[in-house]
């Protein structure tokens, strides 16, 4: 089998892209797919990722490796044991980094370090008890120094007890389509080889996606690499891209990789440590970053800020309140001995990255990540261009994963605001579900229309006045689909309004509650009775999540327990996070009503974490 796969990959190199694509389809449908799906069941996967909160394409999540839990988005400061600037211990104690990255190849090549690592383990060598990721040295091959077989470095990473290792990929220089394709195919062969070398189950491994910024090659690479049991996928960013500030190519690489690998797999951007670009990369769905930029910039006399990297000669002030800047005078800094200055700059730069990561995580919590990205994009025209490209190329993806309603208002933050997925999707729904060109005033309190502060002319309301029944029916159509409103909410309902604000609060049929209107975003929250009515109106599987499992599990959901992703048998694939959903058993009998945490296409694919937060179970 192994021989056959390698032979196949060799043949692929000789074909045109069109032929290759056609072939690939047959390839999956035949031997390769069958053999490797059996293989996949055999290999135990070490790491399970779960989403806790989200915004844009970003995932605030967590995973556990060797008993240690880390939160994503995760930044790994890179430590080079040959050129120590900030020790791993200081990274942990002063900055709170629970995970770092170092290079297994550098340790392997240095006899003293190698012996110590083999004797004391990587954690002993680094004097660090957090999570250690190690790179394998593939990047060093750019410099032509590499004489390394994958077997040596995979075994070495296992022998020194790393937490997360990286396969030895074949990087590309991002020069041409052919050169990138070569690297995709050679890396896939290495992936196959890796799967025969891996011996220790507790170590998590990263597989590497190649393909430059060519969407079709990235797709090919993701499909090939997904056949192996990697825990995380890392994207090989050709140095050429970041050296020339080509953020657009970097973003397109990330976006296409994210769209083509399982949502359950964390995605790692190799070597990305410029704080300017981190928020954009998180927004497209990158989960892990590593970089030595804080130290590399420091050696070059450069100081990171939120609006770009400055040379210290340019600085008359230190625009930062980190502990090292507060205790430093800018005049002193300029005349400081080089070695001391490098230490100062490295410490400041690392604080800067930490602050940006915290700002990003807080923005996800508040659902205003796109606005943070838009602000950062003002620091460099190339960054703004890449954001616009990301909005366009990622539209179908963001439409599926960006939450349907948000905690924060949508603020106008520049021309590209009209490309924001929340806004485009909402306007598309008005057209498709309500058949209107202009937004009915009935939606003037519903997200995002009621919560947006935009330039005039972006939102065009029809200016008509609607009575309460018409209003609530239009909201139901917007939320659940064409013509749902008139069936869900009959003529004889009682609409309860707030005495204080005069706004609609609850909808009743006689003494039975159908639903309530959420004051913050104007969406309908269904009662069980409302969910039953909706289920009768909508054809399966619309807005449904089907749970499978034993009686005990079904009983838990009926009593109001959340639905875990791994118990989702199937669902409406078009469900968007934060949508109101109906939870049913395999026979389409109602179990509960709640809100989606995952997108429909993600449900069942995550082995850990909640797919639907249940508000009310039928036997509660």
> Which residue numbers are catalytic?
135
> Rounded to an integer, what distance in angstroms lies between the CA atom of residue 98 and that of residue 69?
9
280 vs 130: CA distance, rounded Å: 27
Contact call for residue 45 and Zn ion (CB under 5 A) = no
Please provide the DSSP assignment of 160-188 as one string.
Answer: TT-SEEE-------S--HHHHHHHHHHHH
Count CB atoms within 10 A of the CB of residue 36: 20
Measured from the CB atom, the residue of 320 and 575 that comes closer to Zn ion is: 320
Name all contacts of 425-431 with Cβ < 8 Å and 24+ positions apart. 425/399, 425/576, 429/478, 430/478
Q: How far is the CB of 326 from Zn ion (least distance, A)?
A: 8
Please state the closest distance from residue 300 (CB atom) to Zn ion, in A: 17
Least distance to Zn ion from the beta carbon of 158, Å? Answer: 39
Contact 287, 359 (CB under 8 A): no
Task: Provide the minimum distance between the beta carbon of 83 and Zn ion in the complex, in angstroms, as a whole number.
Answer: 22
Indicate whether 347 belongs to the interface with Zn ion (CB under 5 A): no
Here the tokens at position 265 are 């797999």
Residue from 126, 288, 320, 584 binding Zn ion (CB under 5 A): 320
User: Contact with Zn ion (CB under 5 A): which of 24, 70, 325, 475?
Assistant: 325
Among 45, 146, 322, 513, binds Zn ion (CB under 5 A): 322
Judged by CB under 5 A, does residue 315 bind Zn ion?
A: no
Sheet holding 49-55, edge to edge: 49-55, 58-65, 68-72
Q: Which is nearer to Zn ion, 240 or 355 (CB)?
A: 355
Q: Of 354 and 524, which CB lies nearer to Zn ion in the complex structure?
A: 354
358-373 as b/e: b if 16+ CB within 10 A: ebbbebbbebbbbbbb
The C-alpha torsion from 51 through 267 and 192 to 158, rounded to 10°, is -80
Residue 328 found at the interface with Zn ion (CB under 5 A):
no
Give 345 or 584: the residue with its C-beta nearer to Zn ion.
345
Q: Which of 80, 153, 91 is CA-nearest to residue 128?
A: 91
* Region near Zn ion per CB under 5 A, out of 272-280, 287-295, 344-352, 398-406: 344-352
Is 353 a binding residue for Zn ion by CB under 5 A? The answer is no
Residue choice 114, 198, 348, 533 for contact with Zn ion (CB under 5 A): 348
SS3 per residue for 315-374:
CCCCCCCCHHHHCCCHHHHHHCCHHHHHHHHHHHHHHHHHHHHHHHHHHHHHCCHHHHHH
Site for Zn ion in 216-235 (CB under 5 A): none
Shortest reach from residue 345's CB to Zn ion, in Å = 9
Q: Kind and range of the H or E element at 101?
A: strand 99-103
SS3 229: coil
Minimum distance from residue 348 beta carbon to Zn ion (Å):
4
Contact region for Zn ion (CB under 5 A) — 308-316, 321-329, 570-578, 588-596? 321-329
- x-or-dash pattern for Zn ion, window 375-414, by CB under 5 A? ----------------------------------------
By beta-carbon proximity to Zn ion, the closer residue of 324 and 534 is 324
Q: 3-state class of 20 per DSSP?
A: helix
Rounded to the nearest whole angstrom, what is the least distance from the CB of residue 150 to Zn ion in the complex? 41
Instruction: Indicate the residue among 282 and 354 with the shorter CB distance to Zn ion.
Output: 354
What is the contact surface with Zn ion in residues (CB under 5 A)? 320, 322, 325, 348
């Amino acid at each position: 089998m192994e021989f056959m796969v390698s032979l196949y990959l060799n043949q692929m190199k000789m074909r045109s892209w069109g032929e290759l694509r056609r072939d690939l389809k047959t390839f999956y449908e035949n031997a390769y797919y069958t053999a490797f799906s059996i293989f996949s069941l055999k290999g135990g996967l070490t790491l399970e990722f779960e989403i806790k909160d989200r915004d844009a394409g970003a995932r605030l999540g967590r995973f556990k490796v060797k008993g240690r839990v880390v939160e994503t988005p995760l930044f790994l400061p890179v430590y080079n044991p040959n050129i120590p600037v900030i020790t791993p211990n200081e990274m942990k104690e002063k900055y709170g980094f629970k995970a770092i990255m170092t290079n297994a190849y550098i340790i392997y090549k240095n006899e003293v370090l190698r012996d110590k690592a083999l004797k004391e383990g990587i954690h002993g060598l680094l004097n660090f008890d957090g999570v250690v990721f190690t790179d394998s040295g593939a990047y060093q091959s750019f410099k032509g120094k590499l004489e390394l077989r994958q077997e040596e470095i995979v075994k070495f990473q296992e022998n020194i007890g790393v937490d997360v290792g990286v396969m030895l990929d074949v990087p590309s220089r991002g020069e041409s389509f052919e050169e990138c394709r070569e690297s995709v195919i050679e890396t896939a062969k290495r992936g196959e080889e890796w799967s025969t070398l891996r011996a220790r189950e507790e170590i998590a491994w990263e597989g590497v996606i190649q393909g430059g910024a060519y969407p079709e090659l990235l797709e090919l690479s993701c499909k090939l690499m997904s056949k192996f049991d990697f825990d995380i996928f890392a994207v090989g960013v050709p140095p050429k891209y970041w050296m020339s500030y080509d953020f657009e190519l970097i973003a397109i690489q990330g976006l296409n990789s994210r769209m083509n690998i399982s949502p359950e797999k964390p995605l790692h951007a190799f070597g990305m440590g410029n704080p300017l670009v981190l928020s954009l990369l998180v927004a497209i769905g990158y989960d892990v970053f590593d970089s030595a930029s804080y130290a590399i910039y420091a050696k070059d006399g450069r100081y990171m800020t939120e609006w770009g990297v400055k040379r210290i000669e340019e600085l008359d002030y230190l625009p930062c309140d980190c502990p090292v800047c507060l205790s430093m005078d800018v005049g002193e800094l300029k005349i400081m001995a080089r070695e001391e200055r490098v230490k100062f700059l490295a410490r400041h730069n690392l604080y800067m990255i930490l602050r940006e990561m915290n700002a990003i995580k807080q923005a996800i919590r508040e659902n205003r990540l796109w606005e943070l990205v838009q602000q950062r994009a003002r620091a460099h025209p190339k960054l703004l261009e890449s954001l616009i490209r990301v909005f366009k190329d990622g539209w179908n993806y963001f439409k599926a994963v960006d939450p349907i309603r948000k905690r924060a208002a949508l603020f106008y933050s520049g021309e590209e605001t009209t490309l924001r997925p929340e806004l485009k999707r909402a306007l598309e729904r008005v057209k498709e579900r309500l058949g209107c060109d202009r937004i009915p005033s009935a939606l003037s309190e519903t997200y995002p229309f009621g919560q947006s502060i935009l330039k005039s002319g972006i939102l065009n309301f029809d200016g008509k006045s609607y009575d309460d029944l018409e209003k609530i029916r239009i909201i139901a159509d917007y939320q659940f689909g064409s013509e749902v409103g008139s069936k869900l909410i009959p003529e004889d309902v009682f609409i309860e309004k707030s005495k204080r604000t005069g706004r609609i609060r609850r909808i009743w049929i006689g003494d039975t509650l159908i639903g309530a209107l959420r004051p913050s975003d104007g969406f309908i929250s269904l009662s069980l009775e409302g969910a039953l009515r909706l289920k009768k109106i909508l054809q399966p599987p619309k807005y449904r999540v089907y749970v499978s499992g034993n009686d005990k599990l079904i009983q838990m959901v009926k009593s109001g327990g959340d639905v875990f992703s791994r118990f989702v048998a199937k669902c409406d694939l078009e469900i968007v996070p934060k949508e109101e959903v109906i939870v049913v058993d395999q026979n389409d009998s109602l179990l509960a009503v709640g809100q989606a945490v995952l997108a429909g296409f993600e449900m069942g694919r995550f082995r850990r974490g909640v797919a639907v937060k249940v508000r009310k179970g039928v036997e509660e």
